[in-house]
Structure formats: C-alpha cells, structure tokens
Amino acid sequence: MQERLRISCSRENLQQVRDFVRGFLLAAQRSDMVANQVVLAVDEVVANFIIHANGEDHSQVVDLLLVLTGQRLDIEIEDHGRNLFLPAGQAPMPDLRLYIQQGRKGGMGMALVSRIMDQVEFFERNTHTVCHLSKLLA
C-alpha cells in the first residue's frame, strides 16, 4: 500500500498532511495511538521543511510518500527548496528540567521524532533534501 501527497510550503497545509497520514494509517487498520504518533513525527519534519528550510515560500513544494509493506512503514519527505536542510537524524533528548528553568520553547521536535520512529535519516537526492522515516508497526 502506498500514497503520495504534494503540498506547497505553507503552515496552512500542515492540517492536510496530518489528515493524509492519519487517513492512510487508519485505512491500513492501524490503531489510533500508532496513527497519532506517526502523524506527530511527520508533522514535525514537514513543519521544519516549511519553516526552516523554505521560509514559508509558497512557491516551493514538499512531497510525501507513505509505503506500508507488511508491518514496516516507510515515509519519505522530500523538500524541493533551494537550500539543503540536513539536520542530525538522531537528536538527543533535551534536559526537560533545564528547558523549563530557561523558559525555552521549541527545539524538542526532532528529539520526539527520533523517539517515535525506529529510523530517521536525512540525505541529499538530486540537490533536494530527503527525510526517510521508518517504523515497524505492531
């Protein structure tokens, strides 16, 4: 089973991404809990591409590919922006006490993605940034 989606780089399209991922997983008869976790991970990566890599330039696009083979879910998120966006894949879990003491906001997203997904990998393909996420579903 596989599905594709292309969106322009606007925060307004994040709900469409969430609905797309949730619909795909529920159609594959996966639990709400699994769907919610994966939606959170994909939403974070797509938001990073939209905001940090493309500066919300509506003329740029992001492609999503979801592939479910047996129990393995593979997701590719490809950014077509002009800048490569290659953050470290395995983000360490930040010290939550320190974050609270400092009143920090943000910076936890990729740590959550790394905890939710089994594999997080960023790489370059044809001058585009690609994020590959994978997870074995129960």
pLDDT given at position 80:
83
| Count of domains observed in the chain | 1
Percent of the chain with pLDDT over 90: 61
CATH of residue 56's domain is 3.30.565.10
- Domain of residue 114: give its range: 2-136
8 Å CB contact between 65 and 75 = yes
pLDDT given at position 112:
86
Beta strands 61-69 and 2-8 are antiparallel
pLDDT given at position 2:
97
How do residues 81-116 score in pLDDT, each as one tens digit? 766 665 654 455 555 565 455 555 555 677 889 899
pLDDT given at position 89:
47
User: What would the mean pLDDT of 57-85 be, rounded to a whole number?
Assistant: 90
